[in-house]
Every structure is written in C-alpha cells, then in structure tokens.
Amino acid sequence: MKGESYKRNLAIAYWNYVKVFGIAWEKPKYHPSNRLPQIPSEEKVNMIIANCPKKLALALSISRDTGMRPVEVISLRLCDVDLDHAVIHPNTAKHGAGRVLKVKSTTLNLLLSYLSKRNGVKQLDKIFGGWSSEYYGKYYRYHRNDLAEKLSDPSIKSVKLYSLRHGFATKLYNQTRNILLVKQQLGHRRIETTLTYTQLINAEEEYVCEIASTIQEFTKLLESGFEYVSDYEGKKILRKRK
C-alpha cells in the first residue's frame, strides 16, 4: 500500500495536469505522517558501497561524504569539483544557498581513477553522464537488495539512498551541535527542515575508541569515520559511534 506522501505527490501532479486541460476535479487532501528518518550505521553504508560497481560506488561515496541530494550528485559537472582541494561546489537544488563540500581522500581517489578511464571529459560535462536521479535510485536499490540477498540480511534493504544524506546531517550535528552549519551544508532554505536532525541524537550513544600513535594511523582512522577526541601521553584518542 502506498503511503500518504506518495498519494499527495501523485495528487499534486494530476492537479497540475487537469489545470492545463481545464478538467474539473477536486484534489483530495492527504496528511503524511511526520516520521523521523532511520540512520544506518557507517559500517553498513560502507559495506554497500564496497559491493557496488565503481561508477555507482563513486556516486554513493559523494552522497555519503557531502549529504548532497541524489539530483545534485547526478547533476555534478567536472567544473564543479576542485580536484586539488577535494571539494565540491554543487548547484544546490530547491533554490537553497550555495555551499562548499569536502570529500574524503578515498572518494577523491575513486573520482580520479574514474576520470582517468574516461578520455576527453570536458569541464562542462556531467561526471555521471546521462544518469537521472530516478536511475541513480533504481540502480542503487538493485545492488543494495542484491547484497541483502547474498548476506541473508534483510536489514540492508532499509538503507535508502536518502539515508546517506540523513546520516551525513546527523553526524555533522552530533560533532558540532551547530544547527546553522548543518542547514548551510545541506542547502536547506528553512531551519525548520534542519531541526529534524536535533531529534536524532541519542545522549546514551555508545562509542568505539581507538588510539593513534602515528600520523598515518591518525589519518587512516579519520578517513574511516572516527573523530578526534583528545591527546594523551603523545598519542591521539579517537571515537566513532557503534
């Protein structure tokens, strides 16, 4: 059975159609439930990415690192990416403010490898070619569901493409407690939309802790999702939510 949000969007689309052709029709009212999004673990997201084809893995890595909307990811042009500084300047959808988004070194390496195999990519060319956001979502669900079947783990199917955006926002707010920064990084127009993520922080969260003795260990832990906590006896303590 389709949800209220789906029915509402369908009604809006049909309402626009009948207005164009002058058809008499009374648009029904639907009231979507205000459910909080589910936030998948980083391990589960990374496992899905690792089991996808390289082009899809690149798109998902960008979604995970930046919280960009699917339509923003597939609209990226080569000129939107600063390869020297590993940052993206996306064209923000829904008339939101512009932003600058950082990607991990692993994602940058995926992008450089992908571009090296596509000769003649020009600055104004879309990185993902003719992909649409609908195709991106369908392609993702196919490989996500395939992995769930292979591992006999139905919980993997609960990780939606938009879950990567929600995960990015929740992690950023958890690290900074700066709701205005989260709003800016997501490209929201209204702060009310962003406030959802303040409800997803659990004060009783459990963490995995690691200690880095060298800069190489420190860098590797940061890239795998750990956050710096403090120094102790010349070593660095980091943590990551379970």
pLDDT at residue 203 in the model: 44
Please enumerate in sequence order all residues whose Cβ is within 8 A of that of 124, keeping only pairs 6 or more positions apart, or say none: 77, 78, 79
The dihedral sign for the CA sequence 14, 15, 16, 17: positive
Torsions phi, psi for 208 (to 5 deg)? -100, 130
Q: Tens of pLDDT along the chain (242 residues)?
A: 555 666 777 778 887 888 888 888 888 876 655 677 788 888 999 999 999 999 999 999 999 999 999 999 999 999 999 999 999 999 988 777 789 999 999 999 999 999 999 888 899 999 999 999 999 999 999 999 999 999 999 999 999 999 999 999 998 988 888 888 999 999 998 888 888 887 776 544 566 788 888 999 999 888 888 888 777 778 888 877 66
> Domains in the chain, please, with CATH?
1-35 (no CATH), 42-200 (1.10.443.10), 207-241 (no CATH)
Q: What is the pTM of this model?
A: 0.73
3-state SS, residue 13: helix
pLDDT, residue 204, reads 43
Q: Which of 226, 193, 199, 202 is nearest to 212 (CA)?
A: 226
**Contact yes or no for 208/242 (Cβ under 8 A):** yes
Three-class SS state of 238: strand
